[in-house]
Amino acid sequence: MAVIDQVITDRYALYLGDCIETLPLLPADSIPLSVYSPPFAGLYHYSSSARDLSNCDSYAEFFEHYGYVIRELHRVTMPGRMTAVHCADVPSGNTGHDHLIDFTGDIIRAHEKEGWQYVARYCIWKDALMVRNRTMAKSLAHKTIVEDAAYASNASADYVAVFRKPGQNAIPIEHPQGFTTYAGAEPIPNDLLRYRNWTGKQTENRLSHWIWQRYASCFWDDIRPGHVVPHPSEKGEDDEKHLHPLQLDIIERIITLWSNPGETVLSPFAGVGSELYVALQLGRKAVGVELKLAYWQVAVRNLQTIITPVHSDTLFSWAEAQ
């Protein structure tokens, strides 16, 4: 299978295919950062393909399958650099008498098994009513607390788990002017705007310190829920349900924190291209792999709004991407 189709420019490569077969084509120790949201085991089905992680027969089989991805990402990542995984705990069902599965914790343990160092976990707040309306979770229904609150639950947070490949980072991730932009919902205080593009001592850069305090918090409650790339609102013929794309604020924070301008960002589950889209906007290069044709086509259109492809009929030149 490997690569079925591809769109390649001097700034990005977007492959249609199975990432487990595509990642081995990339050189070892070559990727500064990867960021993605894997299929959530047992929660959504994205396609009918047997290659799709969401179609595994069991939870254990999912992690056996996903282990190949984690292992390959470890191989291609530069020593001392990061991978960031968007995830969430998943319910065992929606019968009204269900429990939560520690999917996030299992992802952390699966990465540690493959040699990654677990360095951070960010908790992303979600609005309970929005989650209830989207998922129709019985545990979030007001009716449940009226009848028997023993079966009520909360709007579980999303998480970003961050891992580092052991070894010395040869290229420091530098922010010589601190943070100059803020990705989030909270208004920047007017008295801090004069510090934008500050050239004095960074100890005096109150704007960057204000942004860093929000990024360094383990609890991100200032993410804009609807700030996402364009995507189809309807589900395809072989979909069970379409999961909302990852918010751009989350991606921008990750890429700003853990990559330098001009470096390459990898998304092995590219979906509609959210991570690649932000990477290009932030002056990075991007490599993405997506299995599902409909999502890949949307991703192509999203990236074309930033950069017009210069060629799409030759293999990606890694030398050009560095």
Reported as a single tens digit per residue, the pLDDT across 102-113 is 999 999 999 999
Residue 155 lies in a domain: no
pLDDT at 273 over 60: yes
Residue 219 lies in a domain: no
For the chain, give the percent of residues with pLDDT over 90: 61
- CATH number of the domain residue 176 falls in: 3.40.50.150
Distance CA 43, CA 109 (A): 20
Query: What pLDDT sits at residue 100?
Result: 84
Surface-to-core class of residue 15, CB atoms within 10 Å of its CB (0-12 exposed, 13-18 middle, 19+ buried): buried
Residue 194 lies in a domain: no
Q: Which domain holds residue 80?
A: 3-95+102-121+160-181+228-321
pLDDT at 43 over 70: no
Helix, strand, coil shares, percent, the chain, to 5: 35, 20, 45
Give residue for tokens 């989207």.
134
Residue 55 lies in a domain: yes
Residue 141 lies in a domain: no
Give the pLDDT confidence of 171-229 residue by residue, as tens digits: 999 999 999 899 999 999 999 999 988 888 999 999 999 999 999 999 999 999 889 98
Q: Which of 84-88, 135-139, 192-196, 244-248 has the highest mean predicted lDDT (pLDDT)?
A: 84-88
Task: Give the chain's mean pLDDT.
Answer: 86
* Greater pLDDT, 11 or 245: 11
Residue 67 lies in a domain: yes
pLDDT at 58 over 90: no
Residue 147 lies in a domain: no
206 CB neighbour count, 10 Å cutoff: 15
- Secondary structure string (H, E, C) spanning 213-233: HHHHCCEECCCCCCCCCCCCC
pLDDT at 59 over 70: yes
Q: What residues form DSSP beta bridges with 77?
A: 31
Are residues 195 and 205 in contact, defined by beta-carbon separation less than 8 angstroms?
yes
pLDDT at 79 over 90: yes
Residue 10 lies in a domain: yes
The pLDDT-based confidence of 138 (bands split at 50, 70, 90) is: confident
Q: What residues form DSSP beta bridges with 14?
A: 7, 288
Work out how many domains the chain is built from and give that number.
1
Region of 42 on the Ramachandran plot (φ > 0 left; ψ -120 to 50 alpha; else beta): left
User: 26-40, 191-205, 301-315: lowest mean pLDDT where?
Assistant: 301-315
